[in-house]
């Protein structure tokens, strides 16, 4: 039997006591950070109401997209398998007999407009008669201390509760590297909802509302984060999403997206190294930067990186191409190009910018009368002319796509 002696790092690599994190660096940054951990703050929650609930929960359904932005935190679904343990001739066997879906907790910011509080109020009033027993002055009715022998027995609690549920589904999206992974809670109901506490001694705390949701199942899905797909409402005009391109670009993670920081870095490198791949250059920069013998504060010898003013100028030039066209040119082009107009209307519908019409997709739009289609186009163009930057950007993308 061979005996293996334990070795320490001195015996394996004489003269070294500790090595750098190159292994972790190579693994987590490879393939455009494919295996890097996701960040917790990149998420989006979408609440889907039934038709009956939309008619009664007027405020919360009208501000449904803003509600997504008010979600402070949300649990992802969890599962507990029901297991029965048996013995067969003293051998232990575990048999799965069922599944339990663990409750999900969702916390909201209690905003100044009280939208998240209104969600709880309308959910309460939708199911329970108790929340609707007030007159025009806001005073209680039917809650008399003694009404046992009254001629009319009022309804309380869930007496006469609606047949259709309040929520159709709740979707929780994780987002990373321009992709999403969605968890759909099937037939969710609120098991518990709680408003925050108030306290005069707390001058820095932020108010919140919370609810616990139970559900009947979970559906998984994934895809690209775009204007025409899930997450619904993410980047919509209602949430005032910042659509101005970042001066940092996105090429460090996605080199195939064009010029930007990647082009800036490659442009200043020595011509002999310009043809190297970006990953090789980044690795060289990293290795030189951590080398204790390297005293060049730039981390890469004989390379002069652009100053701040140069980077801003370069990024501004790159960003001009992605800025929306002016409203006059957009309107003129769309009126002259039916293909671009159809693409614009389709994108506007999918991003929730068509309101007041019963259209959920482009097929619904095509089934409308020509007069109604013209009315939708007219409303969208008026918003473009009125300075709706989100619609201007959608129209610009439609025009560019139609011209390619």
Size of the chain in residues? 404
Residue 250 lies in a domain: no
Domain count of the chain? 3
pLDDT higher at 102 or 263: 102
Would you tell me how many other CB atoms lie within 10 Å of the CB of residue 302? 7
Same domain, 331 and 304: no
At 257 the pLDDT is 41
Rg (CA), the chain: 29
Same domain, 99 and 215: yes
Going by C-alpha positions, the residue among 33, 67, 28 that lies closest to residue 47 is 67
Which of these three, 268, 298, 320, is where a domain ends?
320
Q: Are 353 and 390 in contact (CB under 8 A)?
A: yes
pLDDT reading at 62 higher than 70: yes
Model confidence pTM above 0.95: no
pLDDT higher at 393 or 316: 393
- The burial of 184, by beta-carbon neighbours within 10 Å (0-12 exposed, 13-18 middle, 19 or more buried), is given as buried
Same domain, 132 and 268: no
At 71 the pLDDT is 96
Biggest alpha carbon–alpha carbon distance for the chain: 98
Q: Per-residue confidence at 6, pLDDT binned at 50, 70, 90?
A: low
Which of these three, 273, 297, 320, is where a domain ends?
320
At 319 the pLDDT is 40
CA distances from 86 to 24, 80, 100, 196, 403 (A): 44, 19, 20, 46, 68
Residue 82 lies in a domain: yes
Q: Give percent above pLDDT 90 in the chain.
A: 32
CATH number, residue 81 = 2.30.110
Q: Is 152 helix (H, G, I), strand (E, B) or coil?
A: coil
Share the mean pLDDT of the chain: 78
Q: Are 40 and 70 in contact (CB under 8 A)?
A: no
The CA distance from 211 to 190, in Å, is 7
The CA distance from 55 to 67, in Å, is 17
Going by C-alpha positions, the residue among 99, 98, 102 that lies closest to residue 76 is 102
CA distances from 77 to 105, 108, 269, 382 (A): 9, 17, 48, 43
Question: Domain range spanning residue 90?
Answer: 43-144+152-197+205-225
Which of these three, 288, 320, 352, is where a domain ends?
320
Going by C-alpha positions, the residue among 353, 95, 130, 106 that lies closest to residue 209 is 106
pLDDT reading at 344 higher than 80: yes
pLDDT digits (tens, 9 = 90+) for 112-154: 999 999 999 999 999 998 878 777 777 777 777 777 777 777 7
For range 281-297, the mean pLDDT: 48
């Amino acid at each position: 039997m061979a005996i293996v002696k334990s070795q320490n790092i001195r015996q394996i690599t004489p003269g070294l006591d500790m090595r750098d994190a190159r292994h972790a660096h190579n693994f987590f940054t490879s393939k455009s950070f494919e295996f890097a951990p996701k960040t917790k703050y990149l998420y989006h929650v979408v609440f889907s109401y039934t038709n009956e609930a939309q008619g009664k929960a007027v405020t919360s359904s009208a501000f449904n997209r803003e509600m997504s932005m008010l979600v402070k935190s949300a649990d992802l679904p969890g599962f507990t398998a029901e297991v029965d343990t048996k013995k067969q001739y003293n051998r232990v066997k575990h048999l799965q007999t069922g599944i339990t879906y663990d409750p999900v907790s969702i916390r909201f910011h209690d905003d100044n407009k009280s939208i998240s509080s209104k969600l709880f109020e309308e959910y309460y009033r939708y199911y329970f008669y108790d929340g609707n027993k007030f007159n025009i002055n806001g005073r209680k009715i039917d809650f008399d201390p003694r009404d046992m022998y009254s001629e009319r027995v009022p309804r309380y609690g869930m007496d006469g509760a609606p047949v259709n549920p309040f929520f159709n589904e709740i979707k929780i999206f994780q987002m990373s590297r321009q992709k999403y992974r969605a968890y759909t809670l099937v037939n969710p109901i609120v098991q518990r909802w709680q408003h925050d506490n108030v306290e005069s001694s707390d001058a820095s705390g932020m108010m919140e509302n919370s609810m616990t949701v139970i559900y009947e199942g979970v559906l998984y899905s994934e895809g690209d984060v775009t204007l025409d797909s899930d997450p619904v409402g993410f980047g919509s005009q209602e949430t005032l999403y910042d659509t101005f391109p970042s001066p940092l670009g996105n090429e460090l993670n996605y080199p195939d997206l064009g010029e930007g920081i990647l082009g800036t870095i490659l442009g200043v490198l020595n011509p002999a190294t310009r043809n190297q791949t970006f990953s090789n250059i980044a690795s060289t920069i990293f290795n030189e930067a951590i080398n204790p013998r390297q005293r060049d504060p730039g981390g890469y010898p004989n390379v002069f990186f652009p100053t701040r003013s140069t980077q801003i100028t370069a990024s501004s030039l790159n960003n001009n191409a992605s800025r929306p066209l002016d409203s006059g040119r957009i309107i003129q082009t769309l009126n002259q190009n039916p293909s671009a107009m159809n693409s614009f209307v389709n994108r506007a519908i999918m991003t929730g910018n068509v309101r007041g019409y019963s259209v959920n997709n482009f097929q619904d739009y095509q089934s409308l009368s020509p007069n109604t289609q013209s009315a939708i186009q007219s409303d969208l163009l008026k918003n473009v002319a009125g300075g709706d930057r989100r619609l201007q950007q959608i129209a610009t993308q439609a025009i560019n796509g139609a011209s390619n």
